[in-house]
Amino acid sequence: MDRYLIVSTDGHAGLPMEGYRDYLESKYFKAFDEMLPIQREMTRKSEELFLISDFNDKWRQGIEEELTGAWDGAMRNKIIDADGVAAEVLFPDGITEMNAPPFGAGLGLRPWGVDPELQWAGARAHNRWIAEFCKEDPVRRIGLAIVLMLYDVDEALKEVKWAYDNGLRGILIPALMGDYDAYNHPKYYPIWEFCQEHKMVVHTHSGPSPDYDFNLPGAVGVYLTEFAWWAGRPLWYLIFGGVFEKFPNLKFVLTEVSEFWIPHLLEMMDVRASVKHTSGKLGDFRSNLTMAPSEYFKRNCWVGASALFDEGSTAVRHEIGIKNVMWGTDYPHPEGSWPKTREKLVTYFKGMPDTEITQILGSNAVDCYDLDYRELNPIAERIGPAKADFVAN
């Protein structure tokens, strides 16, 4: 094939806020109706506090119809065709198109300041909609279920099983754990076991964070320094907690966190696990491991490199592991590659070895999500970017 197969591992989809009402149990209608204007106003304020309102308004000009692909399937296929994308992993959406799931069940997934029952209602509403959305085009849409596993493991496991039975390929778990038991706790083993056995990929995604006072100087800079840390925090709980030791085929994806810091993290974890003089006094914290932390990462983990993918990302691809890096457009977010995806792909991949481009753009995702080349290759042959465009002059 003279074109590349692209599987975007970071896409976002969600209904306009009012649309989620149709996917709620009727007992939550009253709470939803009361919450809707509050959610709208909070979303507007969040946009203003992040100083992106003017930027977003300008960016949207002239592409308003195309942005409806966040929930319109026909438009979505038109968009990804133009991007050269054969299939994509779909996370919930948020501020950009005012289409986050209700009751605090969006990408932020804070386990505090919310009513767990209502947050679960919002998560299930999104899960039921995204399952329908993916069934419209099950080859091209790889849906994820929001699973609030911190509150009640049995309830969470039921939702994971529902997601699997309804064609979803993975779960999005809260990156923020608050005062709840962290992910190294054995009580979560039934969920990890089910995900391992049924090839359900576990995800965290950038966005969740504690409250910042964005009225203070430098607050946005603090957030930008820390956001990847909050999204990545479950990773070292899973590694040092022996979760990947006990469940060697469990798959974990860390998405949209920028990539340049990951090799240093892996090096630091390996040093800590080596029990050198500086950490030896702290007692046993690795007898439950048979490999170095970086080896668990290479075996069990992938990075969904998207919005911040640039020269810094390509520079560290070997240190992270060529087999562990996957690419994404981040559509419909303005920090992503759309609507100039093909141009940006050539900018950052041109001259890279063909085998590496093939892996990062598609084959790594095929392996991670257990996809079928027989279904995807015909799509790539029709719309994928030409390999000739990536050959160095």
pLDDT in tens, 99-127: 899 999 999 999 999 999 999 999 999 99
pLDDT of amino acid 50: 61
pLDDT of amino acid 202: 98
* Residue 8, SS3 per DSSP: strand
Q: Is the model's pLDDT at 277 over the cut of 70?
A: no
Q: What is the 3-state secondary structure (H, E, C) of 236-270?
A: HHHHHCCHHHHCCCCCEEEECCCCCCHHHHHHHHH
Q: Is the model's pLDDT at 53 over the cut of 70?
A: no
State the pLDDT confidence band at 51, using cuts at 50, 70 and 90.
low
State the pLDDT confidence band at 343, using cuts at 50, 70 and 90.
very high
Higher confidence at residue 272 or residue 116?
116
pLDDT of amino acid 334: 87
Topology of domain 7-390, per CATH?
A: TIM Barrel (3.20.20)
State the pLDDT confidence band at 282, using cuts at 50, 70 and 90.
low
Q: To the nearest whole percent, how much of the chain has pLDDT over 90?
A: 79
| 183-204 burial code (b ≥16 CB/10 A, e <16) | bbeeebeebbeebbeeebbbbb
Comparing CA positions, the residue from 222, 235, 387 lying closest to residue 298 is 235
Average per-residue pLDDT for the chain: 92
Stretch 61-89: mean pLDDT: 96
Q: Is the model's pLDDT at 54 over the cut of 80?
A: no
pLDDT of amino acid 309: 67
Q: Is the model's pLDDT at 294 over the cut of 90?
A: yes
Q: Which range, of 16-20, 290-294, 316-320, 333-337, averages the lowest pLDDT? A: 333-337
What are the pLDDT digits (tens) for 134-153? 999 999 999 999 999 999 99
pLDDT of amino acid 148: 98
Residues found in the chain: 393
Higher confidence at residue 214 or residue 364?
364
Cα distance between residue 40 and residue 125, in whole Å: 18
Reported pTM? 0.96
pLDDT of amino acid 308: 60
State the pLDDT confidence band at 47, using cuts at 50, 70 and 90.
low
